[in-house]
């Protein structure tokens, strides 16, 4: 547990969290996590979904298997120490059967597609490793070596993917690495394909979109602890991989937990649409798409091969305009416009491949796919604003909006990752924020206080519990959740209320078409039964990435950890001098606000001379702050006790806070 951590870091560090998941027994139907069987109402709802979609269409399965060169009968990848499994495709073998009542059949179909793994030939000179990580690693064969695109999330999965490439494509040198965008599943495994030292020695070109390093290393630093906790729900971290647990993320199988995260700085930047590069004899034409699916992103085209890489701007699912772990809302209109631009720029493509999912072949198929993706995001944008301008709130819009049939029946526009409902709410938030215009929602009571008054007004706990049972038995799970959530927040120790609320979350999870929606419901049910996690995050596994984060970002994070009440009336000046970097930061505390600047102040109360490495170890809890400051390891000009008191003004959250209970 990292209770000594005093900086918050990226939510991506969920990937190195440590926890165990329970195992489901398909033979007996026993579920040690306590997830209950699907009800008749859930079975009917899922059967209705199956009847509404052409689930027997094998086109996507044919495309997902096309070009298979090699695969593994058993694919289990362990961490470098060998003491933990971080990727296990074998645990999804239960998905070979027909869709059970406890899984939305549309999500089950997507789960089967994402389980297809191995090395595939996409077209001449272009290959992909799929199913070794959440993302794909693409391999382009140049004149003298390999060009790697998106080297996965962690060192171990990338190394396993690279081993498969070497075994089948030969020992060609790596000539270039391309990061399509700034999310960790597209660069964090780079150390598994080449070390930073070897890359420098060999002159390997590292190519990325403008803004990549800043976004990749500091995304969500300020809000990282909260996002990390919420991400554990979105990714189903604590759930069994089973027909009553996690089955798929929609975007891929899952995220790899517990591996080494690396980072190598780009050597070349692409900052405009139309930019061209010749990389080891292969001509690349780029489309610069910042602020779409990621803050820093590009797509590219290989004109001689007529092969288009859509990065993550287009995928075989509706993506997130807003992600459930919490992030800045994305611009759906801008996103749609980039896809429209793709059609104009690369409309003669004969092959499409991307950072997730399987490729597509044939110009007509590709143009239709892009048009559907474009129209999906724009439809959500335009119809949300149309209804908002007619006075509907975000919740009302989410309840009424429906994709037109042509888009609704396109599997690539289904809500396997993002959803129509929460994306419509995101568009509303983008333009109008959290307030819906009704003054009753301007300053409502907080959840616990409101819950107690609701329970009292409805006749007490027993009456609400009975109404919750009636709603559950009628299959009205959304209403049952609302009732029982009030009950649990008013009386968190009520076992019957918690148990019934957990059962209700089970059913909502089983009906969800979105992988993340399923996981958040089932994670809620799990924690109502078993409590919050015992451990936080082992951020030491991400030291390579932490070393690349600009030090000013750590101090930004430190400022948002300052306890304003504790700091009241205190006026302090502290210098941090990084002896190995030749730089320093001056921190000034007054009015319960912490400011920091690039220079040192001669009038500071305390000056701390420290190496960047020791600073990082203190930041992530590998070196205890109090013991280190009072030891002789540091050169401190001023009172060590004052420095200890200064650090005592900051919160030390461990990322295990309650979500579904008070």
CATH of the domain at 595: 3.30.1050.10
**Structural domain includes residue 573:** yes
Tokens, residue 494: 């009520």
pLDDT for position 23: 58
Q: At which of 375, 403, 425 does a domain end?
A: 375
**Residue given tokens 């819906």 in the structure block:** 436
**Residue 634 confidence (pLDDT):** 83
Report the alpha-carbon distance of residue 610 to residue 356 in Å, rounded: 42
Residue 351 has pLDDT above 70, yes or no: yes
* H or E element at residue 51: helix 40-52
Domain that residue 577 falls in: 550-647
Provide the pLDDT confidence category of residue 16 given band limits of 50, 70 and 90: very low
Strands 583-590 and 572-578: antiparallel
The predicted pLDDT at position 223 comes to 85
Q: Is residue 149 part of a domain?
A: yes
H/E element, 256: none
DSSP strand E in 329-434: where? 351-353, 360-361
pLDDT for 659? 96
How far apart CA 239 and CA 242 sit, in angstroms, is 8
pTM for the structure as a whole? 0.94
Specify if 267 maps to a domain. Answer: yes
**pLDDT for 475 beyond 60:** yes
Distance, CA of 201 to CA of 191 (rounded, Å): 15
Q: Is the pLDDT of residue 231 over 90?
A: yes
pLDDT at 30: 62
Is the pLDDT assigned to residue 240 strictly greater than 90? yes
Name the more confident of 438 and 21. 438
Residue 608 has pLDDT above 50, yes or no: yes
Which of residues 638 and 378 earns the better pLDDT score?
A: 378
Q: Supply the pLDDT for residue 347.
A: 95
Lowest mean pLDDT among 5-9, 112-116, 328-332: 5-9
| pLDDT tens per residue, range 104-142 | 999 999 999 999 999 999 999 999 999 999 999 999 999
pLDDT at 296 over 80: yes
Nearest to 90 by CA among 241, 245, 232: 241
Q: Is residue 399 part of a domain?
A: no
User: How far is Cα 106 from Cα 92, in angstroms, rounded to an integer?
Assistant: 16
Read off the pLDDT band of 164 (50, 70, 90): very high
**CB atoms near residue 60 (< 10 Å):** 19
User: Per-residue pLDDT for 25 more than 70?
Assistant: no
Q: What number is the average pLDDT over the span 304-320?
A: 98
Separation CA 103–CA 105 (nearest Å): 6
Phi then psi for residue 650, to 5 deg, are -110, 140
Following CA atoms 543, 548, 551, 557 in sequence, which dihedral angle do they give, to the nearest 10 degrees? Answer: -60
Question: For residues 421 and 396, is the Cβ–Cβ distance under 8 A?
Answer: no
Let me know if residue 346 belongs to a domain.
yes
Number of domains in the chain: 2
The pLDDT of 507-531, averaged and rounded, is 98
Mean pLDDT of 501-507: 98
Question: Does some domain include residue 482?
Answer: no
Query: Any residues with CB less than 8 A from the CB of 504 and at least 6 apart, and which?
Result: 468, 472, 477, 480, 481, 484
Are 511 and 46 in contact by the 8 Å Cβ rule? The answer is yes
Q: Of 308, 342, 375, which residue is a domain's last?
A: 375
Q: Taking 70 as the threshold, does the pLDDT of residue 15 lie above it?
A: no
Instruction: For residue 24, name the pLDDT band (cuts at 50, 70, 90).
Output: low
Asked if residue 403 has pLDDT above 90, the reply is yes
Summarize pLDDT for 87-101 with one digit per residue, the tens.
Answer: 999 999 999 999 999
User: What integer best gives the mean pLDDT of the chain?
Assistant: 93
Q: List alpha helices for 575-639, DSSP H.
A: 612-619, 625-630
Q: Give the whole-number percent of the chain exceeding pLDDT 90.
A: 81
In a domain, 265, yes or no: yes
Mean pLDDT of 645-653: 90
Give the CATH number for residue 61.
Answer: 3.60.15.30
Mean pLDDT of 458-467: 98
pLDDT for res 6: 41
Q: Are 575 and 640 in contact (CB under 8 A)?
A: no
pLDDT band at 582 (very low <50, low <70, confident <90, very high): confident
Report the pLDDT value the prediction gives residue 8, as an integer from 0 to 100: 39
Instruction: Determine phi and psi for 203, rounding to 5 degrees.
Output: 65, 35
* Calpha distance 644→626 (Å, rounded): 6
% of the chain exceeding 70 in pLDDT: 94
With cut-offs at 50, 70 and 90, classify the pLDDT of residue 333: very high
How high is the pLDDT of residue 18? 41
Q: How many Å apart are CA 626 and CA 641, to the nearest integer?
A: 9
End position of a domain, from candidates 355, 375, 395:
375
pLDDT score of 11 more than 60:
no
Within-domain flag for 655: no
């Amino acid at each position: 547990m990292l209770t000594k951590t005093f900086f918050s870091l990226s939510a991506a560090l969920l990937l190195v969290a440590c926890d165990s998941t329970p195992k489901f027994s398909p033979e007996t139907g026993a579920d040690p996590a306590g997830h209950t069987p699907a009800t008749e109402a859930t079975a009917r709802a899922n059967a209705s979904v199956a009847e509404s979609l052409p689930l027997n269409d094998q086109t996507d399965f044919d495309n997902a298997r096309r070009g298979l060169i090699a695969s593994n009968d058993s694919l289990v990848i362990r961490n470098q120490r060998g003491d933990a499994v971080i990727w296990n495709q074998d645990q999804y073998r239960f998905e070979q059967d027909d869709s059970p009542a406890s899984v939305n059949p549309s999500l089950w179909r997507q789960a089967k597609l994402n389980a297809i793994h191995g090395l595939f030939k996409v077209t001449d000179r272009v290959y992909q490793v799929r199913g070794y990580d959440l993302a794909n690693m693409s391999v382009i064969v140049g004149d003298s070596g390999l060009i790697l695109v998106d080297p996965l999330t962690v060192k171990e999965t990338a190394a396993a993917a690279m081993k498969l490439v070497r075994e089948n494509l030969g020992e060609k040198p790596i000539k270039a690495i391309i990061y399509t965008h700034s999310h960790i599943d597209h660069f964090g495994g780079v150390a598994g394909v080449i070390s930073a030292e070897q890359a420098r020695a060999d002159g390997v070109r590292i190519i990325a979109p403008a803004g990549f390093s800043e976004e990749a290393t500091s995304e969500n630093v300020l809000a990282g602890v909260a996002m990390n906790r919420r991400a554990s729900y979105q990714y189903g971290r604590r759930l069994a991989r089973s027909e009553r647990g996690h089955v798929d993320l929609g975007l891929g199988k899952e995220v790899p937990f517990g591996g080494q995260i690396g980072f190598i700085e780009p050597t070349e930047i692409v900052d405009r649409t139309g930019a061209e590069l010749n990389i080891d004899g292969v001509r690349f034409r780029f489309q610069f798409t910042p602020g779409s699916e990621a803050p820093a992103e590009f797509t590219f085209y290989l004109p001689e091969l007529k092969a288009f890489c859509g990065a993550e701007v287009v995928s075989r699912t509706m993506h997130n305009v807003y992600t459930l772990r919490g992030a800045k809302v994305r611009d759906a209109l801008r996103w749609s416009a980039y896809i429209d631009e793709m059609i104009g720029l690369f409309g003669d493509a004969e092959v499409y491949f991307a950072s997730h999912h399987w490729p597509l072949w044939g110009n007509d198929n590709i143009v239709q796919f892009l048009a559907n993706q474009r129209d999906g995001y724009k439809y959500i944008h335009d119809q949300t604003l149309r209804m908002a301008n007619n006075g509907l709130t975000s919740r009302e819009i989410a309840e009424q909006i429906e994709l037109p049939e042509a888009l609704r029946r396109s599997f690539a526009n289904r809500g396997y990752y993002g959803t129509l409902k929460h994306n419509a709410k995101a568009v509303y938030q983008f333009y109008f924020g959290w307030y819906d215009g009704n003054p009753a929602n301007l300053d409502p009571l907080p959840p616990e206080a409101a819950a107690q008054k609701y329970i009292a007004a409805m006749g007490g706990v027993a009456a609400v519990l009975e109404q919750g049972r009636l709603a559950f038995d009628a299959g009205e799970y959304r209403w049952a959740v609302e009732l029982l959530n009030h009950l649990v927040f008013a009386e968190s120790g009520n076992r019957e209320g918690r148990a019934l609320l957990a059962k209700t979350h089970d059913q909502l999870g089983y009906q969800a078409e979105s992988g993340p929606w399923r996981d958040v419901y089932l994670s809620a049910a799990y924690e109502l039964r078993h409590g919050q996690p015992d451990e936080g995050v082992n951020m030491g596994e991400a030291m390579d990435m932490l070393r690349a984060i600009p030090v000013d970002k750590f101090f930004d994070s430190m400022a948002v950890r300052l306890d304003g009440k504790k700091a009241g009336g205190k006026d302090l000046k502290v210098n941090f001098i990084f002896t190995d970097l030749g730089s320093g930061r001056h921190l000034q505390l007054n009015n319960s606000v912490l400011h920091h600047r690039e220079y040192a102040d001669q009038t500071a109360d305390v000056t701390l001379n420290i190496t960047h490495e020791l600073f990082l170890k203190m930041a992530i809890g590998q070196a205890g702050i109090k013991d280190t400051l009072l030891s002789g390891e540091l050169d401190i000009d001023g009172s060590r006790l004052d420095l200890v008191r200064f650090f005592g003004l900051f919160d030390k959250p461990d990322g295990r806070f309650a979500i579904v209970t008070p």
